[in-house]
Structure formats: C-alpha cells, structure tokens
Chains A and B, each alone.
Chain A
Amino acid sequence: MLARLKQMLIKEFIQALRDKRTRAILFGPPIIQMLVFGYAANFEIHHVGTAILDLDHSQESRELVSRFSSSPYFDVRRQLTDRSQIVDLIDRGEAVIALQIQPGFAENLRKGQTASLQAILDGTNSNTALIASGYVMQIAQGFAQDYQRDRMQRTAPQFVKLVPRVELHQRPWYNTDLKSRWFFVPGVIGSLTLVLVTTLTAFAVVREREIGTLEQIMVTPIRPWEFILGKTLPFFLIGLVDVALIATVGTFWFQVPFRGSLLVLLTGTVLFLLCMLGMGLLISTVSSTQQQAMVTAFFFIMPAITFSGFGFPISTMPQWLQWLTYLDPLRYFLVVLRGVYLKGVGLEVLAPQMLAMALLATILLTLSVFRFHKALD
C-alpha cells in the first residue's frame, strides 16, 4: 500500500515540479504578491487632497485652516478664491475634500453665535469619504472646544477648571499605533493561500480526466483513496511552503509583530490547507473540463474572500449573510492569523476556530472522496 502511494507521490511531484515555468509560478509570485498587496491593502488615509475656500480672511478662520493643514490626514493643496472652483476641482478628482468658510465667520464667533464650516466631499470612494469626514468633525470639534475654553478664560477664569466634562481615555490593544498594515498583512497571507491552493487542487483530478490518463491510472492496482492522497499531499506540501514564504515576508518585511506561538499557527494552517484541499478536490471531481473547474473555483473564491472579514467587518453584513460566513473556512483562518500575530492568543481562545476548520475539512474531504468514487463508476 505504502509502495503504491509512494509511486503516486513520485509521479505527482515530477509532474508538478518538472516544468521550470510551473516551478517558478508556484513559488515566485506569492512572494511578490505578498509585497505588492501588503502595501496596497490599506484603509488608512493620509494626505487626502484638500482645497480651502476661506472667504472670511480673519484670524479665527486662519486658525481653523491651520489645524487642517497641520494634520497628517489632510494635504491642503489649493487655496481657492471662488466657489465655482470647487466644482471643477472635485469633478476632476484633484481634491477629495473642499472646506468652505463663509464671510462673517469671525464676526459670528465674537458675537457668541454659531459660525459654520462647510465640507464638501467626493463620495465616489465611500470609504475614504467616511473616514475623512470623521477627521473633519474631529478637527472642528477640537477647534470649538478650544475656542470655548479661551472665551471662558477671558470672561470667567475662576470657572475654567470646574466645568464638568467626561473624556475618553482610549487604550487601543494589540495595535497601539492603529497601523492598517498590521490588520491587512495577515489577511493577505490567508487570501493568497486560499487562491493558490484552491486553484491548484481544482485542477488535480480533472486534468488527468481531460487528458485521459485517469483511466490509465485506475487500471493499475491503486485504490481511490491512495490516488486522492497522492494527489493532495504534494499540493499540501507546496501550500505549506508557500504559507511559510509569504508569512516570512509579511512578518519581516512589513514588521508585523508575531506575538503568539508558531505551533498554534502551524495547527491552524494545516487545518485550513485541509479545507482548501477538500474544496479544490470537490471542485475537481464535479468538473469535466479544466475550464469548468476554474470557473467553479472562482465561484467559490470570490465570496470566500469577500465574506471572510478580510477587509470588511462581518458585523456590518446583513444577518443572513453573517450566517453564511460560518461556512467560509477563511473566516476562521483569519481569526487564527490575527489572533496569533497581533493578539498573541493561543488555543484557549482559538479552539472554536480550529474545531470549525477541522469540521469543514472533514466534511469537504469526505464529500470529495465520495464524489470521486461515484465519478469512477
């Protein structure tokens, strides 16, 4: 039995690694992709193009503007003189945000009336707009608070220290500087692994079938499960090497802290790879051509990445979708990756995720072996 399996494995390894080009494709691109995507995947905003239309030209308005220009989130590129310029700038995408201060801004403030600030945002990218408008509010609030304090200092200095106020002392755990990269790098590691392993295994069986070599193998004394094992083991090992490569790049190049145990990560990775192999094999056994396998694989890959919590929190999805995400192996793997990297938690916290992946892997692998038997009859 072991002898047969060994022969099968030798054949598979030769097939997978024979071609120089295929060899290069298996190991080179994942590293490059990790580098490029590690930089690209980011929701942080910095230096958002900003234009300012200050129609008041007062000390107060200049003070407000300087708070924006000294903030790292905004890059004041243009000082406008006329309202019509705003339309043009935002239309052409040269500024994402335009701030407008009406004449009478300082006068209102001095009279103790509410002055107004208008912010016009390009909502084409709703994420950037959402985050940027949060920062606008923050800066405006800071300005208002300081203005009030200064005013009180002048009119009733004895009360300044007594005004009741509740403040938030925030303690961001795991990622004190709120670096977006720390959130995304583990996500990119998981997603790349998913794409790579699923597409590779999706071809495993159907390729032999399409070329007609499946029949040839089946007339040998090899058993179906030996065949399946022989098919998957090489991809499992290739997947493991790839995870190791991209995780190394992610950790050392992007300086994402690795706070947990390597053993926990390895356990999670093995379980996740088993899920992916199961999925790939299942696709392969239900497809009759490689093209069909590829199309079906995509049908799985896109939702699997979108609903894993890779970039968008699962809690913002509608309830029915949230239930569906429980079927997504990547969802669990990302919790494990981020747990091990950023939180440094171990099995005591990640056990449910591990169990879920083990369960999914068992179901998928059983289904694919079952389907394979059926396909042979």
Chain B
Amino acid sequence: MNPNRLVAIATKEIIHIRRDVRSLIIVVLMPAILVLLFGYGVSLDLKHLPVYVFDREGSQASQDLLKRFQSSTYFRIAKVANSYPELAQAIDSGKATLAIIIPHDFSERLHDGGPVEIQAIVDASDDNTANLAVGYAQGVLQGYSSDLQVEWRERRGLPRQFVPLSTEVRTWFNEDLESSAFIVPGVLALVMTVIGAFLTSLTVAREWERGSMEQLISTPVTALEIMLGKLLPYFVIGMVDVGLSTALAVYWFRVPFRGTIATLFLSSALFLIVMLLLGFFISVIAKTQLAASQIALIVTFLPAFLLSGFLFAIEQMPVFIQYVTRVLPARYYVSALKKIFLKGTPVEMLYADLLPLAVFALVLVLLATGAFKKKLV
C-alpha cells in the first residue's frame, strides 16, 4: 500500500464531499437534529390524558371523586359529557383516552357500604397508554377509597387502619427514568449507520454507475487503497458526529455520561468501521445507487431502528427474533453505548459487545475486497 496513492484517493473524495455543501451540512447537523428529535419526542411518561366524564348522579360525592381526577397530573378532564353516545364518539375519534361513568346511585351505594364500581372505558388501540391510564385511574380511586375508610372508621369508633406495605422503588443508572437518557445514546448508532452505510454505498456505487471506477482501476491504485481512500473522509465525519452528538446529549439533555471518552470513541470507531465496510460491500454487489440505497436501508437502517434494542428491548422479543439480532452490528454498539453512558462500564468489561464488532469488521474486509477484485476481473 502506497500512502501517497491513498491520500490522493481520499483527497478526491473530499473534493466530492465539498462540492455538495448541502449534504455536508446535513451530515454534520443530522446527529444534532436526531438527538434533539429523540430527546424531546420520545417518551412514554404520560401526563394530562384527555378524559371525558359522564356523571349520572351529580351529587357531592361524585363531584368530590371527579375533582380528584381533575387535580391528578396524569389526567385532564376534557369534557363533562351528558350521554353515553357522546362518550363512545369521543373514544372513537380519539378525543378521549379514558371515559369515566359514575352510576346514578353512586352516593346511595357508598352510604350502604361495601365496594362500589364505577365504569371506565379506555381506548385500548394503544395498549400501553391504556395500561398506564388504567393504573393511574386505579391510583386515584385508591386514594379516594382510603380517605372514605378513615372517615368510616372514625364514625364507628374503630381503630385507625394501618398501611400494611410501603413499596419503595429505586431506579439505578437512570434515576429519574428519563427517556432521553435511554434513547439518546442509541441515536449515535442511527447516525453512524446513515453516514457509514448509506453515504459510502452511494459514493462507490456512483463511480460504478458513471463508469469512472474503470478509470480509477486503470491507474496504479490497488483495491485496498481505493477502499480505504474512499472510506477515510467519511470515517472522519463520523467521528466528528460522535463528538457532537455526545456533547449535545450530555450538555443539553443532561444525559449522564459515566464512562470514559476514550472508551466511547474506541467503540464508535469500531462500529463506524464495520458500517463503512458494509457500505462498501453493498456498493460492490449493487449495480446502481438506487439498488445500493435500498439494500442499505434493508440491512442497516431499519434493523438499527427497530431491532438493535434502541427503542424496543431485545429480551422482550420472541426468541427467534433475538437470534436474528445477533447478526446485527448495531445491536452490539447500542448495548455498548448504554453501558458506557449510563453504567460507566470500562472497556475491558465490554468485550461481549466489542469482540463481535471486531469479527464483523474482519469478515467484511475480506468479503468486500474479495467481491471488489472479482467484479473487476
């Protein structure tokens, strides 16, 4: 390998990149924007769910109960409805997530003692929101019930009821359960995927498409030099993006960063190399940029989005899908990122994530150079 030729190829690629200012801006800004988007846009922590209430009694007791819903931060009484069809329509159209119906004999039955049921219709088309909403509503009712019971016992001169169990939940690594702390480190994996696999697969496919690859090959450069020269500028862009995204995550979203910078950059470099090589390999086997981009989409971006553990927990997937995730480089990188950011795991404890990435890199170097040489013959 001749360093001069390598530099020449890299310079050529840099000129290509510089000519296209908009892409460069997008590529540099993309991580910042993605971190912002996911930092703000992704949360399951529900607040102010719209509730429709249908109070069929309108008594002091029913109003007291409804006030408790009103004052809960989880709910917002969107409307006091006057009929059942009105509730049904609100749930159908999504104007209400929860509809509460208080029976016409509510206070009478409360007076008689024993359990009284109130109905809650919940829009379960989003099962998770429904689950949480029901849980919060039960919490409101529990508070109401225990106050009732205190009063009831006092009237009868019974001893005060004791609370048998207090549950203390402590969360480690992400104490306030901030979704940004969980999501934002994974965004790095998405950024690397787009830069690594997409940009490179297109830039190399372009040379094939335009026929300029043949011209390159007729010069004394070797296959390895072409590959490295093409990939080097993108590697630099990718590493700059790692720095940018991390800075934004840590300083803007206050995502804890408990590991070391060196570990972060080492893991990121390893993953970026895998992605760049994959992009190169795709461009060699695809004939056109259109095909290259579609293949890159299917084998890199979408899996990184949905199968890497970035959004959806891998251990909750069916077992055979869990096996599928094992061949995805993004899975190992996302896992390493979460450990570096939130747990501060040192590099020697990350071998389970970094070793597979190294293996991927090695296999892809062989595959890509092999396919490249074969294509030229």
Chain A interface residues toward B at CB < 8 A: 19, 21-22, 25-26, 29, 33, 36-37, 39-46, 49, 64, 90-91, 109, 112-131, 133-134, 136-138, 140-141, 143-144, 147-148, 156, 159, 161-176, 178-180, 182-183, 195, 199-200, 203, 207, 210-211, 288-292, 294-296, 298-299, 302-303, 305-307, 311-313, 315-318, 321, 335, 338, 342-343, 345, 349
Contacts and interface: CB of A to CB of B under 8 A. Distances in A.
B174 interface: yes
Given A117-B167, A124-B173, A183-B126, A167 B135 contact: no
Nearest to A187: B126
Given A162-B113, A312-B43, A129 B174 contact: yes
Interface string B100-133: 0000000000100111111111111111111110
Contacts of A318: 40
Given A116-B167, A163-B113, A295-B199, A203 B293 contact: yes
Interface stretch (B4-12, B145-153, B219-227, B356-364): B145-153
Nearest to B153: A163
B178 A126 contact: yes
A156 B158 contact: yes
A152 to B, nearest CB: 9
A176 B34 CA distance: 36
Contacts of A178: 124, 127, 130-131
Interface residues of B, number: 117
B315 interface: yes
Interface of B, secondary structure class, is helix
Given A120-B172, A166-B145, A175-B124, A144 B294 contact: no
A298 B46 contact: no
Interface stretch (B20-28, B244-252, B259-267): B20-28
Contacts of A114: 162-166
Given A161-B114, A289-B20, 7 more contacts: A42-B316, A169-B120, A174-B124, A200-B290, A292-B23, A303-B33, A305-B305
A324 to B, nearest CB: 9
Question: Considering the complex of A and B, which 3 residue pairs feature the smallest CB-CB distances, nearest first?
Answer: A123-B174, A172-B124, A162-B113
Contact of A294 (B114, B129, B293): B293
B286 interface: yes
A289 B206 contact: yes
A42 B126 CA distance: 11
A316 B44 contact: yes
B289 interface: yes
Nearest to B307: A40
Given A22-B291, A207-B289, A312-B41, A169 B119 contact: yes
